[in-house]
Structure 1
Amino acid sequence: ASQDISSLKNIAGETGKKLTSLASSFLTDIQDRIL
């Protein structure tokens, strides 16, 4: 069970990184259009 939890944490971490990079590039795109 502990292995499942650790793997879930790894998946959540990878997903978080992807979401963060997506959000930052999205915000940069919006700022470029506004400016």
Structure 2
Amino acid sequence: KKTSYLVLGENPGSKFEKAKSLGVKVIDEAELRKLAGG
């Protein structure tokens, strides 16, 4: 697996389901900003 995080918007669609099934951590924009130090 090469993807560490999936950043979700308002309508995540099928990528969200795929990420869940693969055990990829799902975050929102606010959490992404924290990770980026802002």
- Give the TM-score taking structure 1 as reference length: 0.31
Q: By percentage of residues, which structure has more helix? A: 1
The structure in which a higher percent of residues are strand is: 2
Structure of greater relative contact order (alpha carbons < 8 Å, 6+ residues apart): 2
State which structure, 1 or 2, has the greater radius of gyration over its C-alpha atoms. Answer: 1
TM, length-normalised to structure 2: 0.29
